[in-house]
Amino acid sequence: MALNTRDFEYIRDLVRVRSAIVLDNDKDYLVELRLSSIVQQEGFASLQDFITHLRAQPVELMLQRVVDVMTTNETYFFRDVFPFEALKNDLIPELLKQNASSRRLRIWCGAASSGQEPFSLAMLLRENFPQLATWNTEMVATDISHEMIARCKEGRFSQLEVNRGLPAMLLVKYFRKDGDQWILKDDIRQMVQFRLMNLIQPWSLQGPMDLIMIRNVLIYFDLETKRAILAKVKKLMGPHSVLILGSSESVLSIDRDFEQINMGRFLCYRLKQELAQPVAVAARI
């Protein structure tokens, strides 16, 4: 049975209140697709029956589960390629040069989903910057989904997931086979701290962050929420900090405090130099 307007609006409002993500009116098919697994697992006859039950008994764990599945977005290893090439060839070398005296590198990956992005970055650092073995390197990755954070900490991926974007050399080097799945080895998995964090609620992060990656996230928010998130991002940035967004995203029409860095087929952002003030280094992330 197709999702009726009343039930769609209930799910849309639930997701918006808890995550600020806006579901357009034509996204009823997405609600049906994402919630079908919960309907089957919980033994409901239909999606309508499940939502009726949810209205009558809005148990917190089930509400959070609905938000989790509705806010989990597609990801894969080394997505879009160009940002990772720029990180390897230009951005990370420049950050290491700027931080040579402190020998400290701090990175945040927002909306980490199932972990492919932060783990891609961890493998890139391990493969190309051996000097970081003697540095204080901190990488934190966050997501709104309890389920995704649990998955990230486990570092377990299906054959389909490792087939998407992950070079065979890195698969062999940094993963071990476990039945029909692949488990990331501890030395890479432990490079990343995973935390539950909702972008529209108070953040637990402290600056400065040298590199901030919140790719393919802002597109899901309205303008007011985008500005609120970027205002908090700015507080984490110092004079040399770099912000990386998704390939279809830009901050220039949202917040004029940023300047664009053109790196060929890849764009990233810094605070305008007259606005970028040194940020006191946090004792820990």
Q: State residue 263's pLDDT score.
A: 86
What is the assigned CATH class of domain 5-71?
mainly alpha
Q: State residue 74's pLDDT score.
A: 80
Residue 146 phi/psi, 5° resolution?
-60, -40
CATH 1.10.155 location in the chain:
5-71
Nearest C-alpha neighbor of 113 from the set 139, 70, 143: 143
Measuring CA to CA, how many Å separate 263 from each of 95, 244, 259?
15, 12, 13
* Neighbouring C-beta atoms of residue 276, cutoff 10 Å: 18
Which tens digit of pLDDT belongs to each residue from 224-243? 999 999 999 999 999 999 99
Alpha helices for the chain (secondary structure H): 5-19, 28-41, 47-56, 60-71, 82-86, 92-98, 116-128, 146-154, 159-163, 168-174, 186-189, 223-235
Residue 76 phi/psi, 5° resolution?
-160, 165
Query: What distance separates the 2 farthest-apart alpha carbons in the chain?
Result: 63
CATH 3.40.50.150 location in the chain:
82-271
Residue 264 phi/psi, 5° resolution?
75, -110
Q: State residue 283's pLDDT score.
A: 47
All residue ranges of the chain with pLDDT < 70 are: 1, 274-285
Which tens digit of pLDDT belongs to each residue from 60-114? 999 989 998 888 778 999 999 999 999 999 999 999 999 999 999 999 999 999 9
- In the CATH scheme, what is the homologous superfamily, with its name and number, of domain 82-271? Vaccinia Virus protein VP39 (3.40.50.150)
What percent of the chain shows pLDDT beyond 70? 95
Q: State residue 71's pLDDT score.
A: 83
Using the 8-state DSSP alphabet, how is residue 219 labeled? G
| Number of residues assigned to the chain | 285
